[in-house]
Structure 1
Amino acid sequence: MTHGLIFGRFDPPHAGHVMLGRAATELVDRLTILLVGRPADMVPLPIRQAWLTELFPGADIVAREISAAPPRAASFAELVRAAVPGPIDVIYAGGGGQSAIAPLLGARFVELDHGQRTVPVSGAEVREDPLVAWPFLPAPVRPYFARTICLHGPESTGKSTLAPALARHFDTLYLPEYGRTYCEAFGLALTMADLLAIGRTHAAMTRSTLRFCNRRLILDTDPLMTAAWAEMLFERSDPWFEAFDETANLYLLLDIDMPWVDDGTRFFGDPERRRKFFDCSRDQLDRRGLPYVIISGPPEERFARSVEAIEAAGLA
């Protein structure tokens, strides 16, 4: 049985690592990937370990955290022996920097991408700017670095029109409001259980879509808006909403200075309750200390103001 080894920081894993690991998987009977982490690394070690487990389901993923990089090849070889018992037949690497380790372990060294000609990116380049290196980030890694912009605020403020317009402008995807889909399917007699189903489903869809969006994702509301609905409908929330922490990088809070239009799925059209809904929506952001910009004006101006806010926040 041929035992192959790949080791590195994988901080974070990129397309070069994927090419290396999948090629090696086909070339050996058993593959071990040794993930060596340090406290100063960009991404916490358990997160990287989970990514590698998903990317290479047939490999043995071994994680070790060390205080600093061993100064000599011999010291690193000792670390490998302690972490990966048994003989190692071949060490695979994308470059030649690890070649001194192989003879110390009685292994053959195989360099698969000399000079990064196949996958022209390095871990240092990814760490410098993950969004610039976006095409080289595997799907499991992308949600960690993607940016989210969430449209927030009461009904009939233009969110459903603004979300796709922003997605087109930034060449990415948007996630429609799941609550509308839910109400159209199951009716308007909502319970707290219905709101929990809406919030949880929207959060799950967000996590999924972040894996293949283009650097940023536009959200037409999120569970914080569903929590505002709970306050309006029942004057209380649910612990799940209070514990929700997958918040957006920026919220665009749409003002109520637009006419209210009844489309069959809306509730609060009179001015007093509409103002209360806006204040409730704003409170969801204020008490969590989340960044937001109020977007007001006629529909044709809201798009421009939203783009300006996204650019000013460094999310463009």
Structure 2
Amino acid sequence: MTTGLIVGRFMPPHAGHMLLAGTARALVDHLVLAMIVGPEDAISPADRAAWMAELFPQAELVQVHAAPSGTDHWWEPMRAQLGRRIDLVFAGDGEALALASALGARYVQLDPEHQTLPISGAEILADLMGNWRFLPAPVRERFARTICLHGPESTGKSTLAPQLAAHFDTCWLPEYGRTYCETFGLALTMADLLAIGRTHAAMTRAAKRLSSGRLILDTDPLMTAAWADMLFERSDPWFDHFDETADLYLLLDIDMPWVDDGTRFFGDEGRRRRFFECSRHQLEKRGLPYVLIGGPAEERLARSIEAIAAAGL
């Protein structure tokens, strides 16, 4: 049985690692991925290990500690930690040649000039958005930036979300609560709201993997929590513990006409104002970044784009 080895920090794993591991896996019976970890890593070993396990489920992941700085024979501690025979060492640069020699293994260098995939982990961390195309789905989920439209019904969220997605050339996630109500009716219970919140959160995680770096959300579980406040004057503890919040919230003002579309509840001025304050309270009690977007419907897109740019997103 032949055993291959790839050494890297995988911080984060990217398309270059996919090419390297995919090639190696086809040439050996067993592939070992040696992930170097150190005390000053920008991404935790646990996160990287989870990504690697999902991306390369047939490979064996071994964590090895980085050699002290200034160590001439940096491969010696790695050889001791591996503790097994290695037949082939795969790499994209020449540093692993010494390791292959020390292990008595054959060195296989692939795409040394990065001609197939011109990228490195350091370049990705320096410019995530500029190098987004090189990130695999699990890493995208971690680094995608989310902009959430927040606020009561009939404030233009469902119109604005696809407009923002088109502007940023990305996908958007519709309000799952609307879909739920159209399917099951308006006689909502707390269990229904919990199902809506959990499903929307799960859809958000999945959609991040498909985004182009930004994901536009037409509401999120915090808005469902505001619904709970309005309907029941309380919410399930799940909402209090929800921490997958957006990078920026655009709180849409109620200074536009309320329109009854068959799935809306609170059209009178008093309850509409209360709903707006409940929505804002969900953001402020958590200290989340938000920008109030008001004015005519036709101006809200430009104001939202300006707010997103000002937030550095």
- Given candidates 250, 253, 274, the residue that maps to 2:251 is 253
Identity of aligned residues (%): 65
Is the CA contact (8 Å cut-off) linking 1:92 and 1:111 kept in structure 2? yes
How far 1:85 moved relative to its partner?
2.1
Aligned to 2:57: 57
How far 1:70 moved relative to its partner?
5.1
Aligned to 2:2: 2
The 5 A counterparts of 1:90-169 are 90-169=88-167
Please tell me the residue identity of whatever aligns with 2:131: A
How far 1:109 moved relative to its partner?
1.1
Aligned to 2:301: 303
How far 1:222 moved relative to its partner?
0.2
Name stretches of at least 5 consecutive residues in structure 1 with no aligned partner: none
Partner Cα separation in structure 2 for residue 107 and residue 142 of structure 1 = 34
The 5 A counterparts of 1:1-316 are 1-66=1-66, 69=68, 71-72=70-71, 74-82=73-81, 84-315=82-313
Please tell me the residue identity of whatever aligns with 1:3: T
RMSD (Å) for aligned C-alpha atoms:
1.1
Partner Cα separation in structure 1 for residue 83 and residue 65 of structure 2 = 17
Is the CA contact (8 Å cut-off) linking 1:74 and 1:104 kept in structure 2? no
Partner Cα separation in structure 1 for residue 16 and residue 49 of structure 2 = 17
- Give the number of aligned pairs: 313
Partner Cα separation in structure 1 for residue 71 and residue 36 of structure 2 = 15
Is the CA contact (8 Å cut-off) linking 2:7 and 2:33 kept in structure 1? yes
Is the CA contact (8 Å cut-off) linking 1:73 and 1:101 kept in structure 2? no
TM-score by length of 2: 0.98
Question: Secondary structure at the residue paired with 2:137?
Answer: coil
Question: Secondary structure at the residue paired with 2:210?
Answer: coil
Partner Cα separation in structure 1 for residue 208 and residue 24 of structure 2 = 28
How far 1:205 moved relative to its partner?
0.4
How far 1:64 moved relative to its partner?
3.3
Is the CA contact (8 Å cut-off) linking 2:75 and 2:98 kept in structure 1? no
1:7-48, Cα deviation, whole Å (9 max, x unpaired) = 110100110000001110000000000111122222111110
Partner Cα separation in structure 2 for residue 183 and residue 80 of structure 1 = 59
TM-score by length of 1: 0.97
Please tell me the residue identity of whatever aligns with 1:87: R
